[in-house]
Amino acid sequence: MSLITVGTVAFDDIETPFGRAEKVVGGAGLYSGIAASYFADKVNLVSIIGGDFPKSELEYLNEKNIDTSGIEVIEDKKSFFWAGKYHDDMNGRDTLATELNVLEDFDPVLPESYKDSKYLLLGNLTPEVQAKVLDQVNDTKLIVLDTMNFWMDIALDALLAVIARVDVLTINDEEARQLSGEFSLVKAAEKILTMGPKYLIIKKGEHGALLFGEGEIFFAPALPLAEVKDPTGAGDCFAGGFIGYLASTDDISFENMKRAVIHGSAMASFCVEDFSIKRVKGLSEFEIKQRLESFRKLSHFDLDA
Amino acid sequence: MSLITVGTVAFDDIETPFGRAEKVVGGAGLYSGIAASYFADKVNLVSIIGGDFPKSELEYLNEKNIDTSGIEVIEDKKSFFWAGKYHDDMNGRDTLATELNVLEDFDPVLPESYKDSKYLLLGNLTPEVQAKVLDQVNDTKLIVLDTMNFWMDIALDALLAVIARVDVLTINDEEARQLSGEFSLVKAAEKILTMGPKYLIIKKGEHGALLFGEGEIFFAPALPLAEVKDPTGAGDCFAGGFIGYLASTDDISFENMKRAVIHGSAMASFCVEDFSIKRVKGLSEFEIKQRLESFRKLSHFDLDA
């Protein structure tokens, strides 16, 4: 099934306890688009870049069946840029620089060929931009929205309005607490599920992810890894793997959403193993299958001997 | 199979964001003994109490098939006492008071009837006391050791000596990092498994528990709960449920250890639902079965539709 992912395609400077990378490609749209492309037949990417973004990267995306006709190019401006430094525990990070550049002008116009897509992933952007994309799709089957505390702080009303229009919300545990005013994630989920979405995914980074919906809870662990080099993009790869799997199976039952959460977790586990998109770029079908099997072995048990 | 649990039987003052409890019964020996008693035919408890410890609680233990002949009573002294206050996020806590009282004299002497027990849980105590118990058992099948960062700080050599003599070590994630000097839990586990134990359980509180051994990793989630009133004793109930299940099945294969970790997690999930031993005291077989099933539903998925 056809799928749209919306999000930044950008440059990052990243410093972690395990190294640094300068002016590497990144952005929620890039990470989620690549992750989704391993499962979905075709990914329709919506973004905006400057003249400085390497054409070779776009060609790579096209080879992976990612349609880039929805990426607006502003030749005389620069791409969005983010610089961050991760704490020693890799859970926290400080933003060292944010240059909006082309993002200041982002007014997404979907190509006609995108508009009948059944699956839509709205990556973390201003709620207004997310709403503008929602206004242009015709008849979706599932809309996933990713956002962050920043928008809860400065644009809560606009964010709540867009949250009310989606099917699945993905946020982290602290954001779920902030949005709901509840400390218990179970209570937070109950409250958030009255705001519009039918499903809530709470991302807990190295502690896994929780899926709430239909009165059920499913937990997907994060794969314990010997080396985590760079967490950047893990949440986006999770979201991309999640919706990519759902689009490929065209089945939005809770049972299939569980599988989708595991597929998302698998893509996130690859993502953190190297800087930028290095690790998620060239995965083989066999590697992905093996990784999914690792998740199964990690979490399965028989209650009866 | 016969089982010994060793640990404090004591009084606690507890303050959490959800209430407070004064001079309630607690201690690693009490929590782990009760948790184990739901599975093991008989639990041989080793501890020390003062004349102030209520006889009615000992009678309750005896009714639950917990042998208390290994609990030394020093009539003219007071029981061990701990007072603590949990942070708002319930993950951290401050110790407000520790009164060793009878614990200063603790020189455990195992009753003859205990000495042939096949399963042994050494709850968190000085490594010297743990070693003294080890010296008195005849022919164990599995020894589980619980400890904490405090002993790593002040008695590392003695702790390492006792760790070298056990089969399963249970510590939390920060303690695993401290003991190994490795940040990655995978690398920490690799290192710790060269120190003697064949299995390592890393407890992550509300983020679940990891079991390492035989080149495998198993992850048990914590059950997301609407109400967590008091985390005190959760780790002890986990350890008690874990070894109690192993003793009851007398099967120490990795597959069965997975089940044991789930049984331990189930007992911990009950424990935190109320103060002191209130919730773990009167569980029915049906409640436990239902809780185990909740863990299965929480973590199981089929990779293929």
d(CA A182, CA A215): 18
Check CB contact under 8 Å for A207 and B210.
no
Question: In this model, does residue B48 exceed pLDDT 90?
Answer: yes
* Mean per-residue pLDDT, A165-189: 97
Which residues in B lie closer than 8 A to residue A251 (C-beta atoms)?
305
Q: Which of B228, B249, B301 sits opposite A259 (nearest CB)?
A: B301
* Strand-pair category, A216-220 with A43-50: unpaired
- Cβ atoms within 10 Å, residue B41: 12
Any A CB within 8 A of B105 CB: no
Which residues in B lie closer than 8 A to residue A255 (C-beta atoms)?
301-302, 305
Instruction: State residue B1's pLDDT score.
Output: 84
In A, residues 182-201, which contact B (CB 8 Å cutoff)? 183-187, 190
Check CB contact under 8 Å for A301 and B302.
no
Any B CB within 8 A of A178 CB: no
Question: In this model, does residue B18 exceed pLDDT 80?
Answer: yes
Any B CB within 8 A of A172 CB: no
Any A CB within 8 A of B299 CB: yes
Instruction: State residue A92's pLDDT score.
Output: 86
Summarised one tens digit per residue, pLDDT across range B246-305 is 999 999 999 999 999 999 999 999 999 999 999 999 999 999 999 999 999 999 999 987
In A, residues 55-84, which contact B (CB 8 Å cutoff)? none
Any B CB within 8 A of A249 CB: yes
Q: Which of B183, B210, B221 sits opposite A224 (nearest CB)?
A: B210
Q: Which of B227, B249, B300 sits opposite A305 (nearest CB)?
A: B249
d(CA A300, nearest CA chain B) in Å: 6
Question: In this model, does residue A64 exceed pLDDT 90?
Answer: yes
Confidence of residue B232 (pLDDT cuts 50, 70, 90): very high
d(CA A100, CA A247): 31
Beta strands in A141-279 (DSSP E): 142-146, 168-172, 199-203, 209-213, 216-220
Rg of chain B (C-alpha set):
18
Check CB contact under 8 Å for A301 and B296.
yes
Sketch out chain A's domains with CATH numbers: 3-299 (3.40.1190.20)
User: Which residue on chain B is closest to A208 by alpha carbon?
Assistant: B207
C-beta of residue A270 within 8 angstroms of C-beta of residue A236: no
Summarised one tens digit per residue, pLDDT across range B105-121 is 899 999 999 999 999 99
* Mean per-residue pLDDT, A222-244: 97
Any A CB within 8 A of B221 CB: yes
d(CA A21, CA B121): 48
Residue located via tokens 């006889």 = B55
C-beta of residue A21 within 8 angstroms of C-beta of residue A13: yes
* Mean per-residue pLDDT, B186-199: 98
What's the mean pLDDT when you consider all of chain A? 97
Instruction: State residue A167's pLDDT score.
Output: 98
Confidence of residue A212 (pLDDT cuts 50, 70, 90): very high
d(CA A291, CA A149): 31
* Mean per-residue pLDDT, B85-94: 88
Summarised one tens digit per residue, pLDDT across range A87-112 is 988 878 999 999 999 999 899 999 99
Summarised one tens digit per residue, pLDDT across range A13-41 is 999 998 999 999 999 999 999 999 999 99
d(CA A272, nearest CA chain B) in Å: 13
* Mean per-residue pLDDT, A141-164: 98
* Mean per-residue pLDDT, A236-246: 98
Check CB contact under 8 Å for A299 and B88.
no
Statement: the pTM of the whole predicted model exceeds 0.90: yes
Tokens of B26: 């607690």
Q: B202: closest CA among B214, B215, B184, B225?
A: B184
d(CA A162, CA A191): 16
Instruction: State residue B26's pLDDT score.
Output: 98
Summarised one tens digit per residue, pLDDT across range B108-154 is 999 999 999 999 999 999 999 999 999 999 999 999 999 999 999 99
CA angle A108, A109, A112 (to 5 degrees): 145
Check CB contact under 8 Å for A219 and B224.
yes
Question: In this model, does residue A304 exceed pLDDT 90?
Answer: no
Rg of chain A (C-alpha set):
18
Confidence of residue B91 (pLDDT cuts 50, 70, 90): confident
d(CA B20, CA B5): 28
Question: In this model, does residue A156 exceed pLDDT 90?
Answer: yes
d(CA B302, CA B305): 7
Question: In this model, does residue A1 exceed pLDDT 90?
Answer: no
Sign of the torsion angle spanned by Cα atoms A166, A169, A175, A180: positive
A-B contacts (CB, under 8 Å): 107
Chosen from B242, B301, B302 to mutate, greatest number of chain A CBs within 10 A: B301
Q: Which of A183, A217, A262 sits opposite B301 (nearest CB)?
A: A262
